[in-house]
Chains A and B, each alone.
Chain A
Amino acid sequence: MSGDVLLRVEGLTRRFDISKPWLNRVVERAQKQYLTANADVSFEIRRGETFALVGESGSGKSTIAKMIVGLLEPSAGRIHFDGHEMDFASGAEMRKLRRRFQMIFQDPFASLNPRWRVGDIIAEPIHTFGLLKGAEVTREVGRLLDLVGLSSADAGKFPHEFSGGQRQRIAIARALSSKPEFIVCDEPTSALDVSVQAQILNLMRDLQDEFGLTYLLISHDLSVVRHMSNRIGVLYLGRLVEVAEARALFTDPQHPYTRMLLDAVPDLALSGRRRRPVTGEIPNPIDPPPGCAFHPRCPLVMDVCRQTLPQPRATASGHASCHAVAAQDALSVD
Chain B
Amino acid sequence: MTPLLSVRDLIVEFPTRRGTLRALDRVSFDIAEGEVLGMVGESGAGKSLTGAAIIGLLEPPGRIAGGEIWLRGARIDNLPREKMRRIRGRRIGMVFQDPLTSLNPLYTVAQQLIETIRTHMDVSEREARARAVGLLDRVGIPAAARRIDDYPHHFSGGMRQRVVIALALAAEPELVIADEPTTALDVSVQAQIIDVLKEICAERGASVMLITHDMGVIAETADRVAVLYAGRLAEIGPVRDVIQAAEHPYTAGLMGSIPTLTQEAARLTQIPGSMPRLNAIPQGCAFNPRCPRVFDQCRTARPELVARAGARQVACWLYEKEAQNVG
Contact = CB atoms under 8 A, between A and B. Distances in A.
Contacts of A268: 215-216, 219, 243, 258, 260
A281 B157 CA distance: 9
A227 interface: yes
A194 B219 contact: no
A3 interface: no
Interface in A180-218: 193-199, 201-202, 205
A293 to B, nearest CB: 14
Contact of A195 (B42, B239, B259, B265): B42
Contact of B214 (A220, A227, A263, A266): A266
A157 interface: no
Nearest to B269: A198
A199 B274 CA distance: 10
B268 interface: yes
Contacts of A228: 259
Contacts of A220: 186-187
Contact of A193 (B157, B213, B264): B213
A262 B261 contact: yes
Contacts of B253: 195
Given A56-B188, A201-B259, A270 B219 contact: yes
Contact of B219 (A163, A263, A264, A266): A266
A50 to B, nearest CB: 13
A269 B220 CA distance: 10
B187 A222 contact: yes
A124 interface: no
Contacts of A281: 156-159, 186, 188-189
B188 A201 contact: no
Nearest to A54: B187
A250 to B, nearest CB: 6
Nearest to A227: B259
B190 interface: yes
B149 interface: no
Interface string A45-77: 000000000001100000000000000000000
A154 to B, nearest CB: 15
| Residue with the greatest number of chain B CB neighbours at <10 A, chosen from A196, A198, A264 | A198
B268 A198 contact: yes
Contacts of B274: 163, 165-166, 195-196
A298 interface: no
A27 to B, nearest CB: 24
Given A193-B213, A194-B42, A268-B219, A222 B268 contact: no
A300 interface: no
B281 to A, nearest CB: 15
B76 to A, nearest CB: 31
Contacts of A202: 267-268, 270
A contact patch SS: helix
A295 to B, nearest CB: 16
Contacts of A91: none
A260 B244 contact: no
B257 interface: yes
Give the size category of B's interface with A: 35 or more
Contacts of A263: 191
B278 interface: no
Contacts of B213: 193-194
A171 B262 CA distance: 30
A20 interface: no
A284 to B, nearest CB: 9
A204 to B, nearest CB: 11
Contacts of A248: none
Contacts of A264: 187-188, 190-191
Contacts of B254: 194-195
A147 interface: no
A201 B156 CA distance: 32
Contact of A270 (B43, B189, B240): B240
A25 interface: no
Nearest to A284: B156
Interface string A251-268: 000000000111111111
Interface of A: 56-57, 163, 165-166, 193-199, 201-202, 205, 220, 222-224, 226-228, 247, 250, 260-270, 275, 277-278, 281-282
Interface of B: 42-43, 156-159, 186-192, 194-195, 213-217, 219-220, 239-240, 243-244, 253-254, 256-262, 264-271, 274-275
8 contacts: A198-B259, A223-B261, A260-B188, A261-B188, A263-B191, A266-B190, A266-B220, A270-B243
